[in-house]
Amino acid sequence: MNSPGSTKERILGAAELLFAQRGFDGASLRQLTAAAGVNLAAVNYHFGSKEKLIEQVFRRRLDALNAQRLAALAKLADDSNRTLEDVLAAYIRPALELSHEGNGALFMRVLARAFAEHDDTLRQFLSENYGHVMRQFTAEFARLLPQLSKEELYWRIDLVTGALTHAMSGFGMIQRKRDVSEETHREQTAQHLIRFAVAGLSHP
Amino acid sequence: MNSPGSTKERILGAAELLFAQRGFDGASLRQLTAAAGVNLAAVNYHFGSKEKLIEQVFRRRLDALNAQRLAALAKLADDSNRTLEDVLAAYIRPALELSHEGNGALFMRVLARAFAEHDDTLRQFLSENYGHVMRQFTAEFARLLPQLSKEELYWRIDLVTGALTHAMSGFGMIQRKRDVSEETHREQTAQHLIRFAVAGLSHP
DNA sequence: GTCTATATAAAGATAGAC
DNA sequence: GTCTATCTTTATATAGAC
């Protein structure tokens, strides 16, 4: 790992912010290095190219996020009474925690952009590196919803994924009311998302 | 309106394709005019700027689409027994029809990009020109779901919107099976989306 | 590891001939 | 309304001094 204030880390932080705000094409290396307070040449020195930098922006967050999701799912494997709520919580809560720490909310916007981009290179990178996570959760959904055909299940998972991605990309703007604690607010959000996902997956 | 093969119309068609594939920043005026088979200078002559061209790409589809949605909603106003399904169908079916005609599916991808962009200029343009549509539908949802608090309703509408936008942006890739007619396939898709939306909005 | 300077390509936009 | 030619800015990337 990199030390917190290192050049590499500052570039990654600035990249996350500017990619969230202006997109991968919209944010130039000039804006990016200026925001990070480093030299223009530093990106190519440390990452090789803009493309590689983009991959590292994803890796920095997704490695930990998906490890947490799989750990939460593994924990449930012991419990033979695990419910759809439990499995969805294992998927949603780590992302929700990330979106409330530091610039995690910005990253969720970057992720939502990646979804909308339909860019083949990026999709392949995400699929190769993190595809196994979705596959494990899908298997678990199939187990808990045996009445659904394969096609029906895929439809619902796709719709739920779209809903969650969209919602989490907006977290930078959701205003927590002053009389609600940070903890309570996060818990309410989790409940909204989980209940919606349960309804979307399991309706008759 | 423009004649179908006019320079203006060909630019709009090429822009829709390239914006869907590469985004607003990713698609350059050079690529765009080359694809349209027109001169580079034609964009600035006919539209004034790239920004104005982007607005026209939206107008060309959204004017008709949202008019159809409101017309379908108005038709329901007579029926005092109208259901949530009816209202959702009024919102979803016109978009679904658009996405199956000509390059309509490409436009749905452009629209999904616009959602993910979080670009203030674009959001303001869409809100100013088409915000009244969402407001009318929201009022209708509130009437049909009186048990939900305002906050709860907004959450659910936001999640459903994300799901539908995501789903419709993928229509270019959904493979219709050979033994299913185009008509049947579209009807099945409509049913998937409407049932999902009903469940997401009205779960207890 | 960081800097300046620069190479090279491509962007949006416009002027002026036809 | 369409063309060529060009202006100006900005992009990614790299070479070579420190």
CA B157-B96-B142 angle, to 5 degrees, is 25
pLDDT, position A167: 96
Q: Is the model's pLDDT at A17 over the cut of 80?
A: yes
Biggest alpha carbon–alpha carbon distance for chain B: 58
pLDDT, position A4: 85
The dihedral formed by the CA atoms of A191, A194, A196 and A202, expressed in degrees to the nearest 10: -140
- Taking the C-alpha atoms of residue A60 and residue A66, their distance in angstroms, rounded to an integer, is 11
Please give, rounded to a whole number of angstroms, the shortest distance from the CA of A160 to a CA of chain B.
6
For residue A168, give the chain B residue with the closest CA: B159
Answer whether B169 sits within 8 Å of A118, measured CB to CB.
yes
- Taking the C-alpha atoms of residue A176 and residue A178, their distance in angstroms, rounded to an integer, is 6
A116 has a chain B CB within 8 A of its CB: yes
Check if residue B30 sits with its Cβ under 7 angstroms from strand C.
yes
pLDDT, position A182: 87
Give the residue from A53, A15, A49, A52 showing the smallest Cα distance to A34. A15
Q: What tens digit of pLDDT does each residue of B27-45 get?
A: 999 999 999 999 999 999 9
pLDDT, position A151: 95
B3 falls in which pLDDT band (50, 70, 90)?
confident
Which of A84, A151, A155, A194 to mutate: most B Cβ within 10 Å? A155
Average pLDDT score over residue span B128-138: 98
Q: Is the model's pLDDT at B155 over the cut of 80?
A: yes
Average pLDDT score over residue span B60-87: 97
Q: Where are the domains of chain A?
A: 1-48, 58-202
Q: Give A-chain residues touching B176 at CB under 8 angstroms.
A: none
CB B17 within 8 A of CB B103: yes
For the domain made up of B1-48, the CATH class stated in words is mainly alpha
Q: A178: burial class by Cβ within 10 Å (0-12, 13-18, 19+)?
A: exposed
Give the residue from B30, B12, B28 showing the smallest Cα distance to A25. B28
Q: Which of residues 12-51 of A touch strand C (CB under 7 A)?
A: 38-42, 45-46
Q: What percent of chain B has pLDDT over 90?
A: 90
Q: What percent of chain A has pLDDT over 90?
A: 88
Which of B159, B188, B193 to mutate: most A Cβ within 10 Å? B159
pLDDT, position B8: 98
- Taking the C-alpha atoms of residue A73 and residue A84, their distance in angstroms, rounded to an integer, is 11
Q: Give B-chain residues touching A164 at CB under 8 angstroms.
A: 159, 162
B69 falls in which pLDDT band (50, 70, 90)?
very high
Check if residue B160 sits with its Cβ under 7 angstroms from strand C.
no
Provide, in whole angstroms, the distance separating residue B85's CA from nucleotide D13's C1': 55
- CB-closest option in B116, B196, B198 to A112: B116
DSSP state at residue A27: S
- CB-closest option in A20, A109, A159 to B167: A159
Q: What tens digit of pLDDT does each residue of B156-176 get?
A: 999 999 999 999 999 876 767
- Taking the C-alpha atoms of residue A106 and residue B148, their distance in angstroms, rounded to an integer, is 30
Q: What tens digit of pLDDT does each residue of A93-152 get?
A: 999 999 998 899 999 999 999 999 999 999 999 999 999 999 999 999 999 999 999 999
Structure tokens at A159: 């719709």
Query: Residue B44: which nucleotide is closest by CA–C1'?
Result: C13
pLDDT, position A2: 82
Q: Give B-chain residues touching A152 at CB under 8 angstroms.
A: 192
Q: What tens digit of pLDDT does each residue of A155-182 get?
A: 999 999 999 999 999 987 776 788 999 8
Q: Which residues contact B167 (CB under 8 A, 6 or more apart)?
A: A158, A159, A162, B193
pLDDT, position B171: 83
pLDDT, position B4: 86
- CB-closest option in B23, B164, B200 to A25: B23
Other Cβ atoms less than 10 A from the Cβ of B4: the count is 8
Determine which of A5-9, A65-69, B182-186 has the lowest per-residue pLDDT on average.
Answer: B182-186
Q: Is the model's pLDDT at B111 over the cut of 90?
A: yes
Structure tokens at B193: 């989306």
CB B84 within 8 A of CB B145: yes
Q: Is the model's pLDDT at A3 over the cut of 90?
A: no
Both ends of chain B: CA-CA distance in Å? 47
Mean pLDDT of chain B: 96
Answer whether A155 sits within 8 Å of B196, measured CB to CB.
yes
pLDDT, position B9: 98
Higher confidence at residue A183 or residue A74? A74
Topology of the domain covering A58-202: Tetracycline Repressor; domain 2 (1.10.357)
Please give, rounded to a whole number of angstroms, the shortest distance from the CA of A105 to a CA of chain B.
13
Structure tokens at A17: 């912010």
Using CA atoms, how far residue B13 sits from A120, B109, B112, in Å, is: 22, 14, 17
A21 has a chain B CB within 8 A of its CB: yes
pLDDT, position A135: 98
Q: Give B-chain residues touching A21 at CB under 8 angstroms.
A: 118
pLDDT, position B28: 98
- CB-closest option in B117, B193, B195 to A203: B195
Strand D contacting residues by CB (7 Å) = A 27-31, 40-41, 43-45, 48-51; B 6-7, 38-42, 45-46
